[in-house]
Chains A and B, each alone.
Chain A
Amino acid sequence: MKISDAILGALIALLGAVTLWHVRSFPPIPGQNFGAALFPGVVAAGLLLCGLLLAARGVVTMAHGARAVALDPWVRNPLTVLRFASVPAGLLFYVLASGVLGFHVAAGLAMLAWLLLFGVRLLPAVAMAIGFPVLMHLAFYKLLRVPLPWGVLERIVFP
């Protein structure tokens, strides 16, 4: 997805402007006339300036016939779009569900969905979706002592 520099530049300049406005509420360090606002303020001013420059450059290229938003050919293939969207969607599912379902179930389900979408056959996909989280459990939970959440499995493993 190619977005015109004019639009991106305007968005970046807007981010800079909003930040500049927001940091005005930050307090100074006691006894000093500068504080929490100084550093983000300078950075935001830089973003505002660079955003405007980029937008100006973008307007020039648009005048020469560049499009505002250009989509790649793959967006016309629904399966590809689904595969692409499944990456953020699956990660979002894990973020929301891992607390309740636990690592093994949530990661297994996300993996199964990804494997099937990417075209792995059902049986190997199921085997991998079970086997890989178990392998990771051994490495992370057992060896590295990372407290992976058990979720629904807690009652089963520790009755």
Chain B
Amino acid sequence: MTADVLAQAFALVLDPHVIVVVVMSALFGLFVGAVPGLTATMATALLVPATFFMPPIPAIASMVTATAMAIFAGDIPSCLLRIPGTPASAAYTDEAYALTRKGQGELSLGCSLVFSVIGGLFGTAVLIAAAPVLAEFALRFSSFEYFWLTLVGLSCAVFIATGDKLKGLISLLIGLLVASVGLDNPAAYPRFTFGLTELMGGAELIPIMVGMFAVSEVMRSTITVDAPLETAQTSIGNVFRGMWRLCKRYPVQTLRGSVLGTAVGALPGAGADIAAWMSYGMSKRFSREPEKFGTGHVEGIVEAGASNNSALAGAWIPAMVFGIPGDSITAIVIGVLYMKNLNPGPTLFLNNAPSVYAVFLLFILANLLLLPLGWAAIKGYKQILRLPRRALLPCILVFCILGAFAINNSVVGIAMMLGFGVLAWLMEENGFPVAPAILGMVLGTLLEEHFVTSMIKAEGRVSAFFERPIAGTLGVLMIGLIVLPAVLRLFRYWRVRTG
């Protein structure tokens, strides 16, 4: 990178037109992300028609900024109302909400904000430093490698589940069963559709997530609606207080979350949501105080919050280098890159170096902008907590209706939300955790797809899952780190009981 190229890149980004676009899309992204049910992908798709009529750099600027804002903003309703704004927030929704109920809402929100920025900047640094090398590596992943990776993700359920392990496992299995509904499976056979066309599309994750977290919580709240607000927090103090202390206390967690997020983001087909789940599970697995997880403990939020924002930048690695989308957001971005004559590929870095570095600068700018704008968004959002709960609950329900509807513009989504809301209420009443079910739905489709396609390729030989170098390593790690300890623990438990 020569100084000349960098100067050109700065000139491209510091154009007043670009700055206006960045600020506008930041506000847009914050709004979309903070509304339950609306995802960062949706924010990007809504921006596409606007980019038709923009020059290349503002077009990309709008998408980079809006998605970074949206992923963070998803944490705000998640923390304050237990409604994950985007699936990437779902992994630590319960943790963040538990903190708010303990009266530490500002800690939880500040932590999401600050570590989102750190994760985002880390991902950007990797994108700048090592995009071509990492993209080559990501392209070596075939279904065998993905199968092991998905299995590692699934095993996180063991760590996420609080309380009764058997009930956690049942919850996970229910999620996996729900994931198998519909036509979109490797055999292309419509399963469990009960003759309904809508169910051929499968069980849409977003309405189910809104139902299981938010509707069930509202149902529980109706019982105590007359009681004075002692559990939920009414005011949020300075969200930046104590953040420096957290940085010093959890440096390893921050780094681990950022690295894992960037890596998972860079793998095509796995994005910010899976990264957040894996990081949260990992955080608990290696924590010195795992017993505090689930009771309102920031450690998991630090790691998973850094992870989901770094995954955003990671997803651009294969997208820019090979035109292969790292997640559903970059799938849209690639189309825009082509439209603006910035055809992705290794040559992009040679022929269009100023534009490429302008994109990098935009990532840095967007993440830094997240600090003041995210702070302002938290300030604005917390106003709704001033509403008495008897007035707030109906508003939340209408919000949920809109979120469940908007994902596919269909009332079937709202019906799904209702059904799974009631189910989740019953589950939680009886000690079944909800989070593993959501994880099962996120990963179920991937697990089946990668297992079945691998089996077809291997003509039924199971040993093929260990033959490729990366797959073999992942497989051995998976069995050594997760399966064996579990079996040993079971064995010990058995001996204690019988002996």
Q: Do A and B share a direct contact in the complex (Cβ within 8 angstroms)?
A: yes
User: Are B456 and A32 interface neighbours, CB within 8 A?
Assistant: yes
Interface residues of B in 163-185 (CB under 8 A from A): 166-167, 169-170, 173-174, 176-177, 180, 185
Which residue of A is nearest B414, CB measured?
A: A95
**Contact call B429/A1, Cβ cutoff below 8 A:** yes
Q: Check A146 against B390 for contact (C-beta < 8 Å).
A: no
Question: In whole angstroms, what is the CA distance A1 to B390 when docked?
Answer: 23
Tally the A-B contacts, defined by beta carbons under 8 Å: 164
Interface check B215, CB cutoff 8 A: yes
Assembly CA distance A116 to B357 (angstroms): 57
> Looking at the complex, which one of A43, A88, A140 makes contact with B219 (CB distance below 8 Å)?
A88
Q: Is there an interface contact between B223 and A120, defined as CB atoms closer than 8 Å?
A: no
State whether A12 touches B452 (Cβ < 8 A): no
Are A29 and B397 in touch, CB under 8 angstroms? no
A110, B169: Cα distance in complex, Å:
37
A80 within 8 A of B: yes
A23 to B181, CA, bound (A): 12
Chain B 470-493 interface mask (CB, 8 Å, partner A; 1/0): 000000000000000000000000
Asked, given contacts A12-B170, A28-B187, whether A84 binds B402 with beta carbons under 8 Å apart, the answer is no
Nearest-neighbour CB distance to chain B for A34, whole angstroms, equals 7
Known contacts A36-B187, A44-B177, A84-B223; is A95 also within 8 Å of B429 by CB?
Answer: no
Residues in A neighbouring B406, C-beta threshold 8 A: 140, 144, 146
Which bracket fits the contact residues of A?
35 or more
Contacting residues, chain B, for A83 (C-beta < 8 A): 222-223, 225
Most buried by A among B166, B173, B411, B426: B173
Count residues of B near A (Cβ-Cβ below 8 Å). 59
- In the complex, which residues of chain B have a beta carbon less than 8 angstroms from the beta carbon of A118? 222, 225, 389-391, 393-394
Measured CA separation A91–B395 after assembly (Å): 13
Shortest Cβ distance from residue A55 to the other chain B in the assembled complex, whole angstroms: 11
Give the docked Cα–Cα distance between A99 and B448 (Å).
36
**Which secondary structure dominates chain A's binding surface?**
helix
Given A118-B225, A145-B46, verify A132-B398 contact (CB < 8 Å): yes
The CB with the most chain B CB atoms within 10 A, among A19, A43, A99, A133, is that of A43
The reply to whether B191 and A26 contact each other, CB–CB distance below 8 Å, is yes
Pick the interface stretch among B289-297, B316-324, B416-424. B416-424
Q: Sorted from nearest, which 7 A-B pairs have the closest CB atoms?
A: A36-B187, A118-B390, A114-B394, A36-B189, A39-B448, A83-B222, A91-B418
Query: A-contacting residues of B (Cβ < 8 Å)?
Result: 31-32, 35, 38, 46, 166-167, 169-170, 173-174, 176-177, 180, 185-187, 189, 191-192, 215, 218-219, 222-223, 225-226, 389-391, 393-395, 397-399, 401-402, 405-406, 409, 411, 414-415, 417-418, 421-422, 426, 429-430, 444, 447-448, 451-452, 455-456, 460
20 pairs, A vs B, C-beta closer than 8 Å: A2-B430, A29-B186, A36-B189, A39-B452, A40-B192, A43-B177, A44-B177, A47-B173, A87-B222, A88-B422, A90-B397, A91-B414, A98-B414, A110-B397, A114-B397, A118-B390, A119-B225, A144-B38, A144-B46, A146-B409
